[in-house]
Structure 1
Amino acid sequence: MNAAEPAREPSAPPSGDRLRQSVEEVLLGTGRVWTRRETAERSGVRPERTMRIWRALGFPTVDDDARVFTDADVDALRAGERLIDAGLITEESETMMVRALGHHLSRLAEWQVHTLWTWMNHSSGSPGVGELMGHAATLLPEIELLQQHVWRRHLAAYADRLIAEAEEQPVSPPEGAAEAGALRTADGGDVRPRAVGFTDMVGYTRMTRGLDSIELAGVLDRFESLTGDVVAEGRGRVVKTIGDEVLFVCESASAAADIGLELTARTDAESGLPQVRTGLAHGAVLGRYGDVYGAAVNIAARLTAVARPDTVLVDTECATELAGMPAYELTTLRPVSVRGYSRLRPVLLRRPAARRRAKSKPH
């Protein structure tokens, strides 16, 4: 610093109202100028529907005379109406679509705001709120560009998958083929045979008692990275992670089996991570707004709960799909009683003994 230059005084922290106004100017673009009724009138959407959509997004109910809506809210409602007019969605499926968007994007927004907030609090030189928000406004388009790119890449990947499925199906499917293939639901979901897998860390609760927040975050990051890599390499899809557990789906039982066995092997080789256990099930699965439902999902979860560390359990339907394949060894175990299933029969999945011995030999 130049000797003649006066020392820079640290800026006083901005008031909550001032900071809130600055954040909204950057993120919302315009002020909160419209009431719910005015928003409905300007968008052409009935007031009760605007409230239903607002709640489905995950936001709290607002008073009728509260000015909380912006021009962008009006534009979004109009965009929804255009999708309905085009026949892409219906008024009935609109709420479910909005709820799914709100659920997934709220988690992303929470992480991003936390990241920006941490960055603002650790910026050197104690810049004022105006300077900080100016920097944030510059970074926001970069975040939006990244999000849009990833979103479009996923659109392309799923479109490619649907095209491949359409090419595999006969032009005139025989009677009864609908039960074996995919069925579309009225709200855009689909029911098809899938393999479902749950993998969780053994002793996670006990382990977390001895870790501080930074160490715990490190373990979770490594677990999510490892499982994400293995599932992607196996051409599966991670549906969601819930703390110490990951839920994934595959188009075939063999793909799920390879992922489950590889997760066990990779975790064993990763120091600092606890052992894992995996449950796999195969059957009709409803895919809806990014999540999956059905008996196979429930059975996979129950099998995970009774699996021993470093083991993979599959249900009888998954075992039937894998039977006769030289890459797997299947051992039927005693029936177990779990929540919802009084006689669930697990099948232990392993690599053939010869492959296990070859892998255990030192190189």
Structure 2
Amino acid sequence: MPDDGPTPQRGAAGPLDDDAVAASTVGELESRLLGGRRRYSARDLARRAHTDVDIVRGFWTTVGLPHADPDDTVYTERDAEAVDRAVALVREHGLDIRTVLTVTRALGHTADRLALWQVEALVEDMSTRYELDDTTARLLTLDRLADLAPVLEAQLVHSYRRQLAAIAGRYAAEFGALRAPGPDLTALPLARAVGFADMVSFTRRTAGLGSTDLSQFVQRFEAAARDVVTDAGGRVVKTIGDAVLFVADDPATGARVALGLAQALGGALDVDREQAAGGLAEGARGVTPVRVGFVWGRVLSRFGDVFGPDVNLAARLTDIAEPSTVYTDPATAAALAGDPRFVLEPQDALDLQGIGSVTPVRLSAAPPA
């Protein structure tokens, strides 16, 4: 890799001086990121887009940013162009304004988390690479952010388009052929395998970790889980610190994902297995198992998440699963019956909160022939 030059030192003259960063770097950075100086108010944007000022203010609310008084000059040319595009979705493409706001809210919610995730990763890199304290690492990140932003933006657009193409491909394969409607028109629209993997004793295992160690621990878990899910043919819906929610397009793929998570993230993690599973709990010889529950059913996909009774059932099965094991329900077991890759073992019936009596079925991989 190219040499980044001498290691920055806190308090040195130049870009790392606190007052200089606050006075000049932030203003310059904002101008470069936002496409110039702030020169428009919300009323200006409304007049320019020939829409109501409440629509403009609603747009910024759904982006996830606070909006000022409608007469305050706080918006740039790129802000104005964003509002113009949102209004065009209604006028030129016929979308309902509520749909536009939903799409905008999705972008705002995702961009907020994405920007924070990436900036914190950059801070950690600066801190580790140059052996800086946290404050100095953040100031150095701020100083270099404008140069990194175009590269990060290009990668974001590329990743977004690839994901859109992948969704289009799945829809074409699943719904392209004209089919007669199913017998139950009230059923949730998507047939999916849906499941959870939940780390056992997360609170106890992370108690006492400093910010860097906790960050690395959670990051390794998320990275390892995503790699396992993707490699098995599934998709991660979301991660929540110590848990991951995944979906797959058929029961067998869902089973492979579930078993992969239980195997890769569970059991005794020695050094070799840590490396194979993304380095989870790197440097420690301990046990970091997960419980996994998954079912084949129907879900509603909205807001980047999935909903429905089968999602709840998968969560409840996860709660009762033993560490490093996978539980499913009788209906999913029936869908997998006859597949020689899997072993299905019914357990004692249990009363699950909000579900009722269920006979969980333990799913295992068949031994090699």
TM-score (norm 2): 0.81
Give 1:276's aligned residue.
290
User: Shift of residue 80 of structure 1?
Assistant: 1.6
State how far apart, in whole Å, the 1-side matches of 2:186 and 2:336 are.
17
Q: Does 2:170 correspond to 1:161? A: yes
Where 2:341 maps in the other structure, the secondary structure is coil
CA RMSD of aligned residues (A): 3.1
CA drift of 1:123 comes to 7.3
Structure 1 Cα separation of the partners of residues 96 and 168 of structure 2: 21
1:218 paired residue among 197, 203, 216: 216
The Cα shift of 1:86 comes to: 3.8
* Cα deviation code 1:30-50 (max 9, x no counterpart): 222222112111122211111
Pair 1:39–1:120, CA change in 2 (3 A): farther
After superposition, the C-alpha distances for 1:225-268 in whole angstroms (9 at most, x for unaligned) are: 22111111111101111001011000111111111112222223
For residues 308 and 133 of structure 1, what CA distance do their matches in structure 2 show?
Answer: 46
Say whether the 8 Å CA contact 2:293–2:314 is kept in structure 1.
Answer: yes
**Are the equivalent residues in 1 in contact too, given 2:196–2:245 (CA < 8 A)?**
yes
Mapped to 1, the partners of 2:46 and 2:33 lie a distance apart of 22
Which residue of 1 is the match for residue 18 of structure 2?
13
The equivalent residue for 2:225 is 227
Note if contact 1:277-1:311 (Cα within 8 Å) is conserved in structure 2: yes
Structure 1 stretch displaced more, 231-240 or 204-213: 204-213
Listed as ranges, the gaps of 5+ residues in structure 2 are: 1-10, 271-280, 282-286
Change (3 A) 1:132 1:311: closer
Say whether the 8 Å CA contact 1:45–1:77 is kept in structure 2: no
Amino acid at match of 1:62: A
Distance apart, 1:57 and its partner CA? 1.4
Match of 1:152 among 161, 168, 173: 161
Residues of 2 paired with 1:114 and 1:222: CA distance? 15
Q: Matches of 1:331 and 1:257 in 2, distance apart?
A: 14
**C-alpha distance in 2 between matches for 1:9 and 1:265:** 50
Going from structure 1 to structure 2, the CA distance change for 1:88 and 1:297 (only over 3 Å counts) comes to: farther
Cα 1:331/1:9, change in 2 over 3 Å: closer
| Structure-2 separation of matches of 1:105 and 1:274 | 31
- For residue 143 of structure 1, what is the amino acid of its counterpart? L
Gaps of 5+ in 1: 1-7, 184-190
In the TM superposition, residue 269 of structure 1 has moved relative to its aligned partner by 6.2
Please give the secondary structure, in 2, of the residue aligned with 1:281. Answer: strand
Does the CA-based 8 Å contact 1:180-1:192 persist in structure 2?
no
Is 1:111 matched with 2:114?
no
Indicate the SS of the match to 1:14.
Answer: helix
Residue 18 of structure 2: SS of its match in structure 1? coil
Q: Which has the larger Rg? A: 1
1:73 paired with 2:76, answer no
| Partner amino acid, structure 2, of 1:216 | L
In structure 2, which of residues 61, 65, 68 is the aligned counterpart of residue 59 of structure 1?
65
Candidates 171, 182, 197, aligned match of 1:176: 182
Contact 2:202 2:242 in 1 (8 A): yes
Q: 1:66: how far off?
A: 2.0
**Aligned match of 1:286:** 300
95-104 or 56-65: bigger deviation = 56-65
Question: Identity over aligned residues, as a percent?
Answer: 36
2:197 counterpart SS class: strand
Between the aligned partners of 1:112 and 1:104, the Cα distance in structure 2 is 12
- Residues 292-337 of structure 1: CA deviation (Å, up to 9, x unaligned): 1111111111111111101101123322211232222222223333
- Deviation for aligned residue 1:178: 7.6
Q: How many residues align?
A: 335
1:126-179: per-residue Cα shift (whole Å, max 9, x none)?
x9xxx9878543322211111122122222222222222244x2x3x2353685
- My pick for the range that moved more, 89-98 or 112-121, is 112-121
SS at match of 2:153: helix
3-state SS in 2 of match to 1:62: coil
> Does 2:50 match 1:29?
no
In structure 2, the CA distance between the partners of 1:48 and 1:307, relative to structure 1 (3 Å rule), is: same
Q: Does the C-alpha gap of structure 1 residues 145 and 178 become closer, same or farther in structure 2, counting only changes over 3 Å?
A: farther
Are the structure 2 counterparts of residues 119 and 252 from structure 1 closer, same or farther at C-alpha, using a change threshold of 3 Å?
Answer: closer
How far apart in 2 are the matches of 1:133 and 1:324? 58
Q: Distance between the aligned counterparts of 2:183 and 2:231, measured in 1?
A: 30
1:5 alignment partner in structure 2: none
**1:245 alignment counterpart:** 243
Q: Distance in 2 between matches of 1:143 and 1:305?
A: 38
2:240 and 2:296 map into 1 onto residues whose CA distance is 21
Structure 2 counterpart of 1:108, which letter?
L
Supply the AA of the counterpart residue of 2:13. Answer: P
Deviating more after overlay: 288-297 vs 234-243: 288-297
Deviates more, 1:84-93 or 1:144-153: 84-93
Check conservation: 2:123, 2:141, Cα contact below 8 A: no
Distance 1:247 1:174, change over 3 A: same
CA distance in structure 2 between the partners assigned to 1:34 and 1:47 by the alignment: 13
The residue number in structure 1 matching 2:284 is none
CA distance 1:240–1:57, shift in 2 (3 Å): same
